[in-house]
Amino acid sequence: MKKIVAAITIFVLGIAISTLLATAKPKPQPRAAEPPPLPMVDVMVATPESLQLHVKTQGTVQPHKEIDVVTQVAGLVQGTDANFAEGAFFQKEDLLLKIEDADYRFALIRAEAKVAEASQLLATERARAVQAKKEWHDLGQDDANALFLREPQLRSAKSNLLAAQADVNQAELNLKRTEIRIPFNSRVLEKYVDTGQYVTAGSRIAKVFSTNSVDIRLPLTDKQAALLDLPQHQKDQRKPHPLVTLSSDYAGKRYQWQGQLVRTEASVDVDSRVLYVIAKVADPFTPDEPGKPPLGIGMFVEAMIAGRMVDNVVSLPRRALQVDRQLLVLDADDRLHFKPVNVLQADAQQVLVSGPIQTGDRIVVSNLPMAVEGMKVIANSTVTIKNTQIRR
C-alpha cells in the first residue's frame, strides 16, 4: 500500500507542477508593425551652364570635283607623261598626253594660205571699187549704182577673208588640242589610253579629281539638325559655317583633319528621312604634321560638328534620366517630385538636359523604378554637378 500511495502522490504532484508551469507562462503582448525602411538615393546638386553642343555623325570622303578628260581631236597617241598612271598627281596645265599633230600642222598651213589669197582678193576689190567710183564721178552722176561701185563684191571679199581667218583660228585650236593638259591640280583615278593607241574625238583619256579640296557627305537626323546653324537659305551662304573635326584610324593610329560645313543638299532623303550636309576639307593631300596620311577618296571618317550655344544646360549621369524623359528632384523634406526636361544629347554615360532646373536643385541620380510623386527618401550624398561636353 505504501508503494501505491507513493506512486499516486508522485503522479498528482507531476500534474500539479505541469498545470502550474502552463498557467504561469507569460502571454505575448501585441506590438505595432514597423514601417518599411525609406529607400536611399544618390543625389547631385544641379549647376546649369551655357554649353556649345556637338553633333556626331559619319561619312565617306568624296572628290569635290571629278571629271573625265576627253580628246577633242582624233589621232594616234604619240606619248604620255612619264607619271601618267592611276594615283599620279598633276599640277594645273601639266601635259598629260600628246596626239600626233602632223595633220593639224598641215591644215594650219593650208588655212594660212587661204588667208593670204583672201587678203589679195580683198585688196583687188578695194582698188576696183575706188576706180569704179572715180569713173562714175567722171560721168557727172551723183547717185552711183551699188553694183557698178562693186560694193557687193567688196563685202564678199571681206567675208571670205574673215572666213579664212576663222579657219586659221580653228586650225590653231585643233593643233593646240593635240596636247591634253589637266585643267586643275588633280590626281588620276582611272587611266583609259596609252602610247600608240588611236583615239577619236570624244574618247576618254582618264578620270581625274581635284586635289585642292574634298567633300564629306554627312547624314543628320531632324534632332541633330536642330542643334546646328545650317546654311539652308540663300542668305546663309555669307554667314560663318560650323566647323567640323574629322577623325579616322590609319595604321593603328588616330588622326584628325579640320574642315567646314559648306552647304546642305537640296532635299531630304526620301528613304532614310535624313538631311545630308556637305563638309569641305582644303588641301587634303598636304600633311600638316609628319607622318600624317592624306584624307584619301573613299576613306570612312567620323565627324564632330560644332553646334549652337545653349543656355541652362545640365550634365547628368545617364541613370538620372527616368522614364518619359523626366528627372526626380528632392524638396526640402526629401520628398520626390517629377520634372519633365528636354534631352539635348545623350550617350551611355551622360545626358545633357535643359528645362525647369534651377541652380541648387537636388537631382536623384539613382534608378527608382517604383518612384511615385511625393514619396519620401533618404539622400545618400550630395555632389555638385560639373558639366562635361557630351559629343554625339
Residue 4 lies in a domain: no
Q: What is the pLDDT of residue 40?
A: 86
Extract the C-alpha cell encoding 280: 569641305
Considering the domain architecture, whether residues 191 and 224 belong to the same structural domain is answered as no
Count of structural domains within the chain: 3
Residue 7 lies in a domain: no
Considering the domain architecture, whether residues 321 and 286 belong to the same structural domain is answered as no
Residue 392 lies in a domain: no
Considering the domain architecture, whether residues 301 and 263 belong to the same structural domain is answered as yes
Could you say which of 182, 209, 236 is where a domain stops? 209
Structure confidence by residue, pLDDT tens digits, 103-149: 999 999 999 999 999 999 888 888 887 776 776 666 666 666 666 66
Could you tell me the end-to-end alpha-carbon distance of the chain, in angstroms, rounded to an integer?
105
Q: Rounded to whole angstroms, how far apart are CA atoms 242 and 228?
A: 8
CB atoms within 10 A of CB 84: 21
Pair 98, 78: CB distance under 8 Å: yes
Considering the domain architecture, whether residues 328 and 282 belong to the same structural domain is answered as no
Pair 268, 95: CB distance under 8 Å: no
Considering the domain architecture, whether residues 320 and 361 belong to the same structural domain is answered as yes
Q: Which residues pair with 210 in a beta bridge?
A: 186
Residue 25 lies in a domain: no
Q: Which helix (H) or strand (E) holds 240?
A: none
Considering the domain architecture, whether residues 104 and 193 belong to the same structural domain is answered as yes
Considering the domain architecture, whether residues 81 and 162 belong to the same structural domain is answered as yes
Considering the domain architecture, whether residues 159 and 105 belong to the same structural domain is answered as yes
Residue 158 in this model has a pLDDT that exceeds 70 = yes
Q: Rounded to whole angstroms, how far apart are CA atoms 233 and 144?
A: 67
CATH number of the CATH domain containing 89: 2.40.50.100
Structure confidence by residue, pLDDT tens digits, 31-86: 766 777 888 888 888 888 888 888 999 999 999 999 999 999 999 999 999 999 99
Q: Which helix (H) or strand (E) holds 203?
A: none
Pair 366, 377: CB distance under 8 Å: no
Pair 354, 313: CB distance under 8 Å: yes
In sequence order, what are the residues at sequence separation of 6 or more whose Cβ sits closer than 8 angstroms to the Cβ of residue 379?
A: 40, 41, 43, 330, 334, 362
Q: Rounded to whole angstroms, how far apart are CA atoms 40 and 32?
A: 24
CATH number of the CATH domain containing 348: 2.40.420.20
Structure confidence by residue, pLDDT tens digits, 203-253: 999 999 999 999 999 999 988 888 888 877 666 666 778 899 999 998 889
- The DSSP secondary structure of 131-163, one letter per residue, reads HHHHHHHHTT-SSPPTTTTTHHHHHHHHHHHHH
Q: What is the pLDDT of residue 205?
A: 95
Average pLDDT along the chain: 85
Considering the domain architecture, whether residues 224 and 205 belong to the same structural domain is answered as no
Could you say which of 174, 209, 244 is where a domain stops? 209
Range of the domain at 257: 56-63+211-309
CATH number of the CATH domain containing 225: 2.40.30.170
In sequence order, what are the residues at sequence separation of 6 or more whose Cβ sits closer than 8 angstroms to the Cβ of residue 164?
A: 111, 114, 115, 117, 118
Structure confidence by residue, pLDDT tens digits, 267-277: 888 888 899 99
Considering the domain architecture, whether residues 272 and 330 belong to the same structural domain is answered as no
Considering the domain architecture, whether residues 179 and 88 belong to the same structural domain is answered as yes
Q: What is the pLDDT of residue 291?
A: 83
Pair 59, 143: CB distance under 8 Å: no
Distance set, CA 83 to CA 88, 92, 190, 193, 334 (Å): 6, 15, 13, 14, 77
Residue 321 lies in a domain: yes
Residue 2 lies in a domain: no
Q: What is the pLDDT of residue 156?
A: 86
Residue 28 lies in a domain: no
Residue 15 lies in a domain: no
Could you say which of 309, 325, 347 is where a domain stops? 309
Picking from 333, 332, 257, the residue whose alpha carbon sits closest to that of residue 296 is 257
Considering the domain architecture, whether residues 177 and 150 belong to the same structural domain is answered as yes
Which segment of 18-22, 87-91, 373-377 scores lowest on mean pLDDT? 18-22
